[in-house]
């Protein structure tokens, strides 16, 4: 009978040289799902460019007042000496562009366009971001409840979604915005208009994300980890908020970045129709509305806010597409 071969502690814990030869520690370390998604996202140069533009736009909106103070930009300062009264157009070419006014001035009062674009950025992003957050919260809660419980609860919530989707949102937004202009819940002026826009856009947009979350929840509730949690005695609220919601973060995040540009366009449309942000507060949609009657004399007046909306919407769409590809485990 052969005696067993004794090994030292070092030999017992050693790995074959064929496994470790030429392999660095960083190459055999596991990566989390977040690291994998970030690696995928970094490879998409277009999405990275969109993300950079979005970050710059958010910084411009958050720091709009300090930027105006530092560079002495007044969005409501009249410069009638820069306007040709005969033509009702800025003096000089390209909408009165100069070193003092890089984007020109408006043809009515000679106000600096760059200052008004910066001042209007925080309004557009605040309304779009607030409306998106409201619709995401309502849609996520109702969607996950409908998808998990099913039955009559799902039927009631689904019929609510159908009702809201069939509702004439634009007509309702115009009517409610026009009816509460004098004051509501102790609010008036700019604060009232922003709150009304956030409520109208967000409250009537939740069924879109609600349907997405509902469909994802109906798929996840059949997975093994949900059955395991149920077998261990976990109740509905625990499963909803501790098991299902963490697995719905990716689609919710992607949809949020894609719905923000839609809400930006909706706010611009309401301001364009005269029921959004009221002057003298600058807004991109309001600037487009004012440019309708003056674009023949000064096309630059319509081009500048239109370009600002176009760049913002395009950047958010590119960012959303990149996040969708990065967070999708089936993408290559």
Residue range 269-294: average pLDDT?
80
295's tokens: 């674009």
Rounded to whole angstroms, the Cα distance separating 131 from 195 reads 9
Burial class from Cβ neighbours inside 10 Å (0-12, 13-18, 19+) for residue 228 reads: exposed
Sign of the dihedral through C-alpha 204, 206, 208, 210:
negative
- Residue of 205, 189, 75, 76 whose CA lies nearest to 128: 205
Rounded to whole angstroms, the Cα distance separating 107 from 85 reads 9
Higher pLDDT, 78 or 9: 78
DSSP 183: -
Residues 159-194 have pLDDT tens digits of 999 888 887 777 777 777 777 666 666 666 778 888
Least confident of 24-28, 179-183, 185-189, 200-204: 24-28
Rounded to whole angstroms, the Cα distance separating 106 from 316 reads 28
Least confident of 15-24, 173-182, 226-235: 15-24
Higher pLDDT, 133 or 182: 133
Strand ranges inside the chain, DSSP E: 83-84, 89-90
Sign of the dihedral through C-alpha 207, 212, 218, 223:
negative
- Residue of 253, 260, 259 whose CA lies nearest to 328: 253
Rounded to whole angstroms, the Cα distance separating 295 from 101 reads 19
- In the chain the domains, ranked by start, together with CATH numbers, are 98-138+166-207+235-327 (1.10.3720)
* pLDDT above 70 for 17: no
The separation between the first and the last C-alpha atoms of the chain, rounded to the nearest angstrom, is 56
CA distances from 332 to 34, 36, 39, 250, 279 (A): 16, 12, 12, 17, 49
Q: What percent of the chain has pLDDT over 90?
A: 20
Residues 304-331 have pLDDT tens digits of 888 999 999 899 989 888 888 887 655 5
Residue range 242-260: average pLDDT?
85
Determine the pLDDT at residue 272. Answer: 78
Rounded to whole angstroms, the Cα distance separating 31 from 12 reads 28
Higher pLDDT, 332 or 102: 102
* pLDDT above 70 for 24: no
Determine the pLDDT at residue 1. Answer: 47
At 9, is the pLDDT very low, low, confident or very high (cuts 50, 70, 90)?
very low
* pLDDT above 80 for 247: yes
Residues 72-112 have pLDDT tens digits of 888 888 888 888 777 777 887 777 788 888 888 888 788 88
């Amino acid at each position: 009978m052969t005696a067993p071969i004794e090994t030292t502690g070092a030999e017992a814990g050693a790995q074959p040289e064929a496994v470790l030869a030429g392999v660095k520690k960083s190459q055999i370390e596991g990566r989390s799902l977040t690291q994998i998604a970030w690696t995928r996202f970094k490879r998409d140069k277009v999405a990275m460019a969109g993300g950079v533009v979005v970050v710059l736009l958010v910084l411009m909106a958050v720091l709009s007042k300090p930027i105006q103070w530092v560079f002495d930009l007044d969005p409501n300062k009249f410069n009638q000496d820069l306007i040709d009264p005969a033509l009702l157009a800025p003096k000089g070419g390209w909408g009165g562009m100069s070193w003092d006014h890089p984007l020109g001035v408006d043809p009515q009062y000679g106000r600096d366009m760059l200052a008004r674009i910066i001042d209007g950025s925080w309004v557009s992003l605040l309304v779009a971001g607030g409306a998106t957050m409201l619709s995401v919260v309502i849609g996520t809660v109702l969607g996950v409840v409908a998808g998990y419980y099913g039955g009559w609860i799902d039927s009631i919530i689904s019929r609510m979604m159908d009702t809201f989707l069939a509702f004439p949102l634009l007509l309702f937004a115009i009517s409610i915005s026009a009816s509460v202009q004098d004051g509501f819940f102790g609010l008036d002026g700019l604060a009232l208009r922003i709150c009304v826009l956030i409520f109208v856009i967000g409250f009537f947009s939740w069924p879109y994300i609600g349907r997405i979350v509902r469909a994802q929840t109906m798929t996840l509730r059949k997975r093994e980890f949900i059955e395991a949690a149920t077998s261990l005695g976990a109740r509905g609220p625990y499963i909803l908020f501790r098991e299902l919601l963490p697995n719905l973060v990716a689609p919710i995040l992607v949809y949020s970045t894609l719905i923000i540009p839609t809400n930006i366009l909706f706010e611009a449309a309401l301001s364009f129709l005269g029921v959004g942000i009221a002057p003298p507060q600058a807004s991109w949609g309001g600037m487009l509305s004012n440019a309708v009657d003056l674009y023949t004399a000064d096309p630059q007046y319509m081009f500048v806010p239109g370009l600002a909306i176009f760049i913002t919407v395009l950047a958010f769409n590119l960012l959303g597409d990149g996040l969708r590809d990065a967070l999708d485990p089936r993408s290559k």
